[in-house]
Amino acid sequence: MSSSNAGSRPVEAGGSRWVDPGHLYVVATPIGNLADISARAQSVLEGVDFIACEDTRHARVLLDHLGVRKECVALHEHNERGASEAIARRLAAGQSAALISDAGTPAISDPGEVLVRVLVDGGVPVVPVPGASAVIAALSASGLPARPFWFEGFLPAQDKARRDRLDRLAGVEATLAFYEAPHRIVKCVAVAADRLGGDRRAVLARELTKRFEQVVHGTLMELAGRLTEGTIPARGEFVFLVAPAGGSAEPPAAEAEALIAAMIDEGVAPKTIARVVSRTTSLSRNAIYAEVLARRKEP
Ligand code: SAM
């Protein structure tokens, strides 16, 4: 078993009290708004010997903004194995390194997983320096249940593979979280409506932390329609969330609705409402919880 103490005990080393020799720091960077970089992330980037970057030119823009002048080495999907071994050798020789990706948290639908695995297998300390991640930002503002949630990342680009994957996810009783590129988002949401059910609640979180940020709620059918008509522009970056299966967006039966409304009026906690109402109806806890949150947002 190996462990690291750098998260709990700041130390003076390598010119920064946050950095220890022989450690890799997995540093989250902003997903749009540069002010989202943390003070600790900045100190770690200043303190390490070198920085492994998904794209060195892209990284330079952020590092110049932060005033950090460091050696950058490329680590991307095409060289990850070889680059990881080279980085491991430098860490074994006592250097320290940070890993960053183009945006958000490395190794989350981004390069880094192989490097971290190589280091963990070799007993090298790997320290997370947390910050922005698009999926967590979207989920936190979605009103959909976060317990449990299923992070799928990107669906396959090919039509049949995407349909098959959605069919396999259709019964999962967890909020589904997808990343999607702008040129595929219209198709992706339309196919999701077809395979998961057009009535299911969903959220499109677009351009988070940026100027044209939008977090749009609706059923899958409604969101597919809005993308097609262009009231949600198919531009920028998207996180796409779908409410859990098993209870869905179908409006609760009349008695359940009355019970939910009465409990909201009495100030009962959403989790308690979900637990109590799910015992007396066929609706799932997750579906009721989502319904309560949605109603609490209504004017
Ligand atoms: N590692 C990153 C993270 O922690 O969020 C994700 C990298 S992945 C290659 C890029 C995808 O994340 C985009 O295609 C989009 O689906 C999502 N994404 C990144 N930034 C976003 C933003 N500002 N708003 C919405 N989605 C975003």
| 13 or 101: which leads in pLDDT | 101
pLDDT tier at 257 (50, 70, 90 boundaries)?
Answer: confident
pTM reported for the whole predicted model: 0.81
| DSSP of 148-177 | SEEEEEEPPSSHHHHHHHHHHHTT--SEEE
In short, whether 222's Cβ falls inside 6 Å of ligand 1 is no
- Atom from ligand 1 closest to the CA of residue 28: 4
Instruction: Give residue 278's pLDDT.
Output: 74
Does pLDDT of 159 surpass 60?
yes
In ligand 1, the atom with minimum distance to the C-alpha of 136 is 5
The SS3 call for residue 239 is strand
Looking at domain 6-132, its CATH architecture is 3-Layer(aba) Sandwich (3.40)
Asked whether this chain's domains 6-132 and 135-242 adopt the same fold, the reply is no
What integer best gives the mean pLDDT of the chain? 90
Neighbouring C-beta atoms of residue 34, cutoff 10 Å: 12
**Mean pLDDT, rounded, for 183-201:** 97
Q: Are 111 and 76 in contact (CB under 8 A)?
A: yes
So what's the pLDDT on residue 6?
45
Question: Which range (71-80, 117-126, 210-219, 257-266) has the least confidence?
Answer: 257-266
Determine the pLDDT at residue 7: 45
Mutational pocket test of ligand 1: of 238, 240, 241, the residue with most ligand atoms within 8 Å of the beta carbon: 238
Class of domain 135-242: alpha beta
* Mutation pick for ligand 1 pocket among 109, 129, 151, 207 (CB with most ligand atoms within 8 Å): 109
Q: Is 121's pLDDT higher than 60?
A: yes
pLDDT of residue 129: 98
Query: What is residue 264's predicted lDDT score, i.e. its pLDDT?
Result: 87
Query: Is residue 38 within 8 Å of 111, Cβ to Cβ?
Result: no
Going by the DSSP 8-state scheme, the letter that residue 29 receives in this structure is: B
Q: Is the CB of 208 under 6 A from ligand 1?
A: yes
For residues 98 and 48, the answer to whether their CB atoms sit within 8 Å is yes
Q: Where are the domains of the chain?
A: 6-132, 135-242, 254-297
Q: Is 101 in the pocket of ligand 1 (CB under 6 A)?
A: yes
12 pLDDT more than 70: no
More confident residue, 245 or 258: 245
Write the single-letter amino acid at 249: A
Looking at residues 217-235, what average pLDDT do you find?
A: 97
Question: The tokens of 58 are what?
Answer: 């892209």
For residues 164 and 141, what is the distance between their CA atoms, to the nearest angstrom?
29
Q: Is the pLDDT of residue 190 over 50?
A: yes
Antiparallel, parallel or unpaired: β 24-27 and 126-129: parallel
Ligand 1 pocket member 175 (CB < 6 A)? no
Would you place residue 248 in the very low, low, confident or very high pLDDT band (cuts 50, 70, 90)? very low
Query: Has residue 2 got a pLDDT over 70?
Result: no
Which strand ranges, in their side-by-side order, compose the sheet holding 201-206?
A: 149-154, 175-180, 238-242, 201-206, 214-219
Q: Please give the Cα distance from 56 to 102 (Å, whole number).
A: 9
The answer to whether residue 13 scores a pLDDT higher than 50 is: no
Q: Please give the residue that has the higher pLDDT: either 149 or 258.
A: 149
Question: Is 214 within 8 Å of 236 (Cβ atoms)?
Answer: no
Residue 270 or 52, more confident: 52
Q: Is the CB of 179 under 6 A from ligand 1?
A: yes
Q: Provide the pairing of β-strand 238-242 with 175-180.
A: antiparallel
Q: For ligand 1, say whether the CB of 29 is within 6 Å of any of its atoms.
A: no
* pLDDT tops 50 at residue 189: yes
Substitution candidate for ligand 1 out of 129, 188, 239, 241 with most atoms within 8 A of CB = 239
